[in-house]
Amino acid sequence: MNESHHDDHWLARPATIKLLWRVFAAVLVLLVLAQAVIYVKGYFGVDGWFGFAAAYGFLSCLAMVLFAKALGYVLKRDEDYYDDGNSDA
């Protein structure tokens, strides 16, 4: 591969990535603000709160990633674990 860094694909350029982050941030803010205009029906009270889905989505992902990470310390093994005479294979 003899492409140098600055003539890489336009999607991989740092400037593009920076722009994508800005657009992403703007979309996130707009999505929360939109709830001021659009009524979100809450079936159980809390889920109708302002920005509930945003916070819930973020926090549940955080919890799942951290849980998986912690579980990984216990469960992760080398890729050839099952070939090391630990099992029939």
- Footprint on this chain of other proteins (rule: CB under 8 A): 1, 8-9, 11-12, 24, 27-28, 31-32, 34-35, 38-41, 43-44, 47, 51, 53-58, 60-62, 64-69, 71-72, 74-79, 81-82, 86-89
Q: Hey, what are 50's tokens?
A: 């302002």
Nearest-5° Cα angle at 48, 32 to 23: 15
45-74 burial: b if 16+ Cβ within 10 Å, else e? eeeeeeeeeeeeeeeeeeeeeeeeeeeeee
Contact call for residues 28 and 54 (beta carbons, < 8 A): yes
